A = this chain, B = another copy of it.
Amino acid sequence: MQPAEFFPTVRIDRASPTPMYRQVETGLRRAILSGRLRAGVRVPGMRAYARHLGVAAVTVITAYDQLVAEGFLAVRPGVGTIVSDLTGHPAAVSDGAHRPQSLPAPRRPIATRPGPRRPFFEPQASEWPPVEIDFRTGSTRLDLFPHRAWERCLRAAWRELAAEPAGIATTYLHPSGDPRLREALAEYLGASRGVHCEPDDIVITAGAQAAMRIGVELWVTGRGPLAVEDPGGPHLFRALEAGGAELAHVPVDQRGLRLELLPRESAGVLVTPSWQYPAGGTMPIGRRLQLLTWAARRGAVVLEDDCDSELRYVGHPIASLQGLAGQCGATVLYVGTFSKVLFPGLRTGYAVVPGPVRELFLARLEASYRGPGALEQRTLAGFIAGGHFHRHLARLRAAFAERQSLALTALDRHLGGLVEAAPAPAGAHLVVRITDPCVTATALNRAAVALGVAIEPMSLSRALPAPDDAFVLHYARHGLAELEDGIRRLRRAFDVSGSASTWSRGAASA
B158 and A170 contact, CB distance less than 8 A: no
Instruction: Report which of B170, B175, B239 forms a contact with A367, defined as CB distance below 8 A.
Output: B239
A206 and B345 contact, CB distance less than 8 A: no
- Which chain B positions have C-beta within 8 A of A175? 119, 121, 123
B145 and A151 contact, CB distance less than 8 A: no
A169 within 8 A of B: yes
Instruction: Report which of B123, B147, B367 forms a contact with A243, defined as CB distance below 8 A.
Output: B367
A165 and B141 contact, CB distance less than 8 A: yes
A155 vs B151: C-alpha distance when bound (angstroms): 8
Residues of A310-335 at the interface with B, using a CB-CB cut-off of 8 Å, are none
Closest B-chain residue to A134, C-beta based? B166
Chain A 130-153 interface 0/1 with B at a Cβ cutoff of 8 Å (1 = within): 100010001111100101001100
A174 vs B120: C-alpha distance when bound (angstroms): 11
A162 vs B363: C-alpha distance when bound (angstroms): 35
A7 within 8 A of B: no
Chain A 412-443 interface 0/1 with B at a Cβ cutoff of 8 Å (1 = within): 00000000000000000000000000000000
Q: How many copies does the complex hold?
A: 2
A481 within 8 A of B: no
A345 and B364 contact, CB distance less than 8 A: no
A102 within 8 A of B: no
With known contacts A363-B119, A373-B346, A172–B138 Cβ distance under 8 A: yes
A117 within 8 A of B: yes
Residues of A101-129 at the interface with B, using a CB-CB cut-off of 8 Å, are 115-121, 123, 125, 128
- Which chain B positions have C-beta within 8 A of A166? 130, 134, 139
- Which chain B positions have C-beta within 8 A of A366? 116, 119-121, 235, 239
Instruction: Report which of B176, B206, B242, B364 forms a contact with A116, defined as CB distance below 8 A.
Output: B364
Binds B, one of A32-40, A91-99, A207-215: A207-215
A125 vs B171: C-alpha distance when bound (angstroms): 13
A238 vs B367: C-alpha distance when bound (angstroms): 7
- Which chain B positions have C-beta within 8 A of A27? none
Distance in Å from the Cβ of A343 to the closest Cβ of chain B? 5
B174 and A206 contact, CB distance less than 8 A: no
Distance in Å from the Cβ of A161 to the closest Cβ of chain B? 7
A139 vs B116: C-alpha distance when bound (angstroms): 35
Distance in Å from the Cβ of A202 to the closest Cβ of chain B? 12
Instruction: Report which of B120, B134, B372 forms a contact with A347, defined as CB distance below 8 A.
Output: B372
In the complex, how many residues of chain A place their beta carbon closer than 8 angstroms to a beta carbon of chain B?
71
With known contacts A154-B154, A360-B117, A369–B170 Cβ distance under 8 A: no
A140 vs B366: C-alpha distance when bound (angstroms): 18
A190 vs B362: C-alpha distance when bound (angstroms): 37
Chain A 201-240 interface 0/1 with B at a Cβ cutoff of 8 Å (1 = within): 0000011011001000000000000000000000100110
With known contacts A171-B344, A368-B213, A118–B375 Cβ distance under 8 A: no
- Which chain B positions have C-beta within 8 A of A134? 166
- Which chain B positions have C-beta within 8 A of A161? 345
Chain A 151-186 interface 0/1 with B at a Cβ cutoff of 8 Å (1 = within): 100110010011001111111111110000000000
A260 within 8 A of B: no
A359 vs B119: C-alpha distance when bound (angstroms): 7
A145 and B162 contact, CB distance less than 8 A: yes
A376 within 8 A of B: yes
A235 vs B172: C-alpha distance when bound (angstroms): 11
A374 within 8 A of B: yes
B128 and A142 contact, CB distance less than 8 A: no
A373 and B370 contact, CB distance less than 8 A: no
Distance in Å from the Cβ of A139 to the closest Cβ of chain B? 4
Instruction: Report which of B121, B165, B169 forms a contact with A173, defined as CB distance below 8 A.
Output: B121
A348 within 8 A of B: yes
A364 vs B242: C-alpha distance when bound (angstroms): 7
Instruction: Report which of B118, B154, B375 forms a contact with A363, defined as CB distance below 8 A.
Output: B118
A482 vs B398: C-alpha distance when bound (angstroms): 56
- Which chain B positions have C-beta within 8 A of A141? 165, 170
Closest B-chain residue to A168, C-beta based? B345
Interface centre among A115, A119, A134, A141 (most CB of B within 10 A): A119
A40 vs B13: C-alpha distance when bound (angstroms): 93
Chain A 344-384 interface 0/1 with B at a Cβ cutoff of 8 Å (1 = within): 11111000000000011011111111111111100000000
Closest B-chain residue to A164, C-beta based? B142
A-B contacts, 22 of them at CB < 8 A, read: A115-B364, A116-B364, A117-B360, A120-B172, A120-B366, A121-B171, A128-B173, A130-B173, A134-B166, A139-B166, A154-B154, A170-B343, A206-B206, A242-B363, A242-B367, A345-B374, A347-B371, A368-B368, A372-B372, A372-B373, A373-B375, A373-B376
Q: Across chains A and B, which 5 residue pairs bring their CB atoms closest together, nearest first? A: A345-B374, A169-B345, A242-B367, A139-B171, A116-B363
